[in-house]
Structure 1
């Protein structure tokens, strides 16, 4: 199996006009948490009781709003694609422990960090990860366990080692989220350096692609998907106007 890792050009274009037709490619949405807090009452009205209980377990307001708004955005976007009421969608765990949508084979994945929530949608398996760059994080403790010797050398020789660490980490995590393998002892065996890599077996997909992309200053992110979809990545903003339309449609 072939895994191709790459970095998209800086200055990613995030469209304010999402296309909610069934995705023939991969669609990535970004939600700014702080700027979306005015939608919190509408978000809470969309969630099921168990989701609200999970939201209220977060004691810090930032964590509460990140979960609440991100979970509601997940329902809104999936509902828009399927033409179904977002509040009535059902989520369950598949055999690989990945969350799945009961109503249709529309694949999705969610990640959040700091002020951003990312959602990736595709007609095939997909994984996404975002991390806030933390220069104080002791990433050196993870190098021997989670990275190959060439990856460790790449990070240590980088002009900004913690940037390089997060770039490779998000690629690895997006890939294992897409494949459902999880973060375990195999994490160091997941290649993350730019280029093509041969893997023995990571499921039925013959080839994968992982792309790093720019979310905002101070963040690293990556999306993983089957290789044939590599040329069809679309990036969308879930700004106030789009959210307003989605919440209004959900009330009809």
Structure 2
């Protein structure tokens, strides 16, 4: 029997905005909930922003998993497949994926493989697009002007990343080997090596960011749960 998310759906999406001034006692308390290996990885990061992002994405993942499965944090053990995609060890009822960028961390949990990607919008790099996007995507990008071009670039980027992450094949699936079509109301995928039928959804969490979700399920949540840092810490403490 499958599991259901806390929102009653087959997939749940949760986001937390990460303040730049997270108090050190809070950081240390959250760090203690991670494995020794993950703590070491975080401590090796040079920039505090990067360390906070990795930490919060991990903690948010743990909260979503504990909520859904009704387990304690100490019962969670993460592994990864041959391409580096994280998964839960010891069970296959629940899948998850996480992403972070700038001041946001996002997590998706689902009864099927899922991919999520959040990116902060900055200047669209046409060189990157020409090199990594499919030819038809690059042509569409060139037709968009000004600030819309930047948003279109990150729409494509996050959608493509979410697909790669859902498929769980890493960059063995080149970004240029498939294309995303945004010209109709329903976002569609064009590829010769389709992983499985998949569906996309985008969520407006912040005007300066793009957030995209990919899943083989055609019933994706209408909304993202936004959780504040204080509420995240308080609720997570119940599962320690």
Normalising by the smaller structure, the TM-score range is: 0.7 to 0.9
Residue 201 of structure 2: which of 188, 211, 214 is its match?
Answer: 211
Q: Which residue in the other structure is 1:14 paired with?
A: none
Q: Which residue in the other structure is 1:45 paired with?
A: 32
Residue 137 of structure 2: which of 147, 151, 156 is its match?
Answer: 151
Q: Deviations over 1:110-149 (max 9, x none)?
A: 11100000101100010001111112x6x11122322223
Is the alpha carbon distance of 1:86 and 1:169 closer, same or farther for their aligned partners in structure 2, counting shifts above 3 Å?
same
Is contact 1:75-1:87 (8 Å) kept?
no
Residue 45 of structure 2: which of 49, 58, 62 is its match?
Answer: 58
The equivalences for 1:227-238 within 5 A come to 227-230=217-220, 232-238=221-227
Q: Does 1:165 align with 2:150?
A: no
SS in 2 for 1:37: coil
Residue 98 of structure 2: which of 95, 110, 125 is its match?
Answer: 110
Alpha-carbon separation, structure 1, partners of 2:209 and 2:111: 27
Is contact 2:116-2:212 (8 Å) kept?
yes
Q: Does 1:25 align with 2:14?
A: no
Runs of 5+ unmatched residues, structure 1: 1-18
SS in 2 for 1:191: strand
Alpha-carbon separation, structure 1, partners of 2:162 and 2:98: 10
Is the alpha carbon distance of 1:198 and 1:162 closer, same or farther for their aligned partners in structure 2, counting shifts above 3 Å?
closer
Is contact 1:179-1:202 (8 Å) kept?
no
Q: Deviations over 1:95-115 (max 9, x none)?
A: 554211014321000111000
Q: Which residue in the other structure is 1:12 paired with?
A: none
1:49 deviation in Å?
0.6
Alpha-carbon separation, structure 2, partners of 1:100 and 1:47: 15
* Number of residue-to-residue matches in the alignment: 228
**Structure 1 consecutive aligned stretches of length 4 or more whose deviation exceeds 4 Å:** none
Q: Does 1:76 align with 2:28?
A: no
Residue 110 of structure 2: which of 122, 145, 161 is its match?
Answer: 122
Runs of 5+ unmatched residues, structure 2: none
Length-normalised TM-score, structure 1 = 0.81
Length-normalised TM-score, structure 2 = 0.85
